[in-house]
Structure 1
Amino acid sequence: MDVQEATRRAIRRHNLVALGANLVVAVSGGTDSMALLHALAALRDQKTLKVQITAASLDHGLRGAEGAADAAYVLEQCERWQVPCVTGSADTLALVSSRKLGIEEAARFARYRFLAKVAQDTGADRIATAHHADDQAETVLMRLLRGTGVAGLAGMGYEAPMPYTPEYTVIRPLLNVTRRQIEAYASAQGIAPRHDASNDDQAYTRNYLRQSLLPEIETRFPGAARALAQLAESAAVDNAFIEAMLEVQTAAHTRRLSGKITISRQHFRALDLALQRRFLRKTIRELGMNEEIGHEHILAAVEVLATAETGAIIEFPGGLSARLEREEITIIRRVDG
């Protein structure tokens, strides 16, 4: 599958970008994001995609000179492809301490905060990322192992509210393209991407899934990665219906304010158990948390919210909490810095 054609089809089929819109592209310097940026720039030049593209590249502050070199490489390539580029840096380790997050989640928070700032500065409301079919398989497998429901099995969508700042939308035009196809495209286009050595460190969960666990599963069950991606697609269809039902049941009883979401206590307790769980998971996602909060947290929280007395507080990882008030249930996320 040609990456340019796959990108064009995904954008048109799923209405990912409006005509004449400003689009931020998240670029690390690696194969996937460089291939996506090249494809989008080519479609722009061919007048097939009439949008304004801005690349955004963040040095997470974890790899010293290598991180700075990645940003310099992205800038150089953007000049060649005539794509405006914004670079930035973050102190991820400081976020680990201040927000009490694992290093992966802290880096994710820093990255999305940076992308939101670039989107704001460029007048964009959509950010393109290079998540692909293999990433989808890894996501579904990771959620299965941690414990999940239908929403988790749906994996990543072609578009979704951006974590931490849901007023922006993340789009994923490569979600139906495999890593092998992306690598073939990059090679054919003469793209020589940077290599992030931290992606080889299997202390990180996703690296372990990608490099050890999923390949081992594939040796016993060939095609397992594709089957996981297909499971995500099927679950996404069912999930969309359930989400629509949830909206019908809760919209009139829910308020969304800066950094917090509230729902009528009486109405929450009247919901079916499936919708109680779904509401809490959706709220957590809208407030920017997902991967750090497992199914067991959801089960325990729903039990407390449905039965405890006024004043009860539930603490989640990542500075998220739910508080049982007299008339309402409030879910709030602490934001530091």
Structure 2
Amino acid sequence: MNSASLPLPALHATCSAVAELPIRLLAAVSGGLDSCVLLDALVLTGKRPTVVHFDHGWRPESVEDAVFVRELAASYGLEYLEERSAPADAATETSARKRRYEFFARAAQISGVHDLALAHHADDQVETLLLQLLRGAGSLARGMREAEVRDGFRLHRPFLWLDRSRLREHAQARGLRWREDRSNDDRRYLRNRIRHELLPFLEERFSPHVRQSLLRFCRVRIAEEEWMTELVRQAAEGTGLSVGDLRNSPIGRQRRIVHHWLRRQGIRDISLSDVEAVRGLASGGREGRQYSLTGGWQAVRRDGEIRLQHQTLPCASTNT
């Protein structure tokens, strides 16, 4: 069905957002409102997604979530792939995300489909920006991209600039069912404290339009980063960073080179302290200096280059 012919105005924004996506793609569906709306919008606009669901195994009701998504895919007549992780493998938000994206990469290989749609929306974008700032990303904070290539597949976030209220309107207009994830209210997680405490505080005490202001900031930063990435791409292309070339660059360019290089090597959740530590490896001192990064990696200075290696022994996140 063409989105322009849909009888309900509530569906226009969501269906227009997915209209240009490929006909064949993977759709990540958790069973929550956002991903159920994504799947429905894809089907309404003539797409034939393969539904992929990853069960982290860290909530008792997650088995029921998987059953719900499996039945949802069947109701649309769609192919379905799922995987369950052992609870110990998803002990933190970071490790959970890593496992999830590893599954997406496997699903792309199994299905032969290398485009993946995710249901992140504007509220998620604002939370991600604040999360990055609070974790020390500094001027490297910019939220999420609407589209990017990662681990051999293309990510699409068609709802990234739509408020969650738009998604709820779609769900209500279509009479959709979804699962509620109680962990979204767990204040032990920083993202949830941002959602339930920090953002309402900022809106009440400073500006009711703070979300829109932060979204504008994200748009500006993403556009700037695309330009800056082109400027540093050649210096960050290899598996190793030249100590001499890095040293001879202005500090701002050094930071961009290091950040782009770390992302190319598959490092995520990069903080400004990580970037500064890698820069510090090039600033002087002896060969063999190293710094521990997230994900079990170490940056090591050797033979005039900075390279990454898997961490073999427990090591504090300080230069040695």
TM range (shorter): 0.7 to 0.9
- Per the alignment, residue 195 of structure 1 pairs with 180
Shift of 1:2: 4.3
**Contact kept? 2:15, 2:44, Cα under 8 Å:** no
- Corresponding letter in the other structure for 1:233: R
**Corresponding residue SS for 2:254:** helix
- Per the alignment, residue 176 of structure 1 pairs with 161
Distance in 2 (alpha carbons) for counterparts of 1:11 and 1:242 = 30
**Corresponding residue SS for 2:218:** helix
**Corresponding residue SS for 2:49:** strand
Residue 306 (structure 1) aligned to one of 274, 280, 283: 283
Distance in 2 (alpha carbons) for counterparts of 1:61 and 1:205 = 20
Residue 230 (structure 1) aligned to one of 197, 209, 216: 216
**Contact kept? 1:3, 1:174, Cα under 8 Å:** no
- Per the alignment, residue 146 of structure 2 pairs with 158
- Per the alignment, residue 34 of structure 2 pairs with 32
Distance in 2 (alpha carbons) for counterparts of 1:298 and 1:281 = 6
Matched, 1:69 2:64: yes
**Corresponding residue SS for 1:88:** strand
| Matched pairs, number | 303
**Contact kept? 2:89, 2:96, Cα under 8 Å:** no
Structure 2 spans left out of the alignment, 5+ residues = 1-8, 313-320
Shift of 1:203: 0.3
Distance in 2 (alpha carbons) for counterparts of 1:178 and 1:297 = 32
Q: Deviations over 1:266-297 (max 9, x none)?
A: 22222222122112222332333332x42123
Shift of 1:54: 0.4
Root-mean-square deviation (CA, aligned residues, Å) is 2.1
**Corresponding residue SS for 1:193:** coil
- Corresponding letter in the other structure for 1:132: H
Shift of 1:117: 0.8
Distance in 2 (alpha carbons) for counterparts of 1:25 and 1:210 = 25
Taking only the aligned residue pairs, the percentage that are identical comes to 30
Matched, 1:139 2:134: no
Normalised by the size of structure 1, how large is the TM-score? 0.84
Q: Tell me: higher relative CO, structure 1 or 2? Use CA pairs within 8 A at least 6 residues apart.
A: 1
Matched, 1:55 2:33: no
- After superposition, residues 1-337 of structure 1 pair within 5 angstroms as 2-3=10-11, 5-9=13-17, 12=20, 17-18=21-22, 22-44=24-46, 51-64=47-60, 66-94=61-89, 96=91, 103-152=92-141, 154-162=142-150, 165=151, 167-220=152-205, 221-248=207-234, 250=235, 254-255=237-238, 261-291=239-269, 293-333=270-310
Distance in 2 (alpha carbons) for counterparts of 1:244 and 1:2 = 39
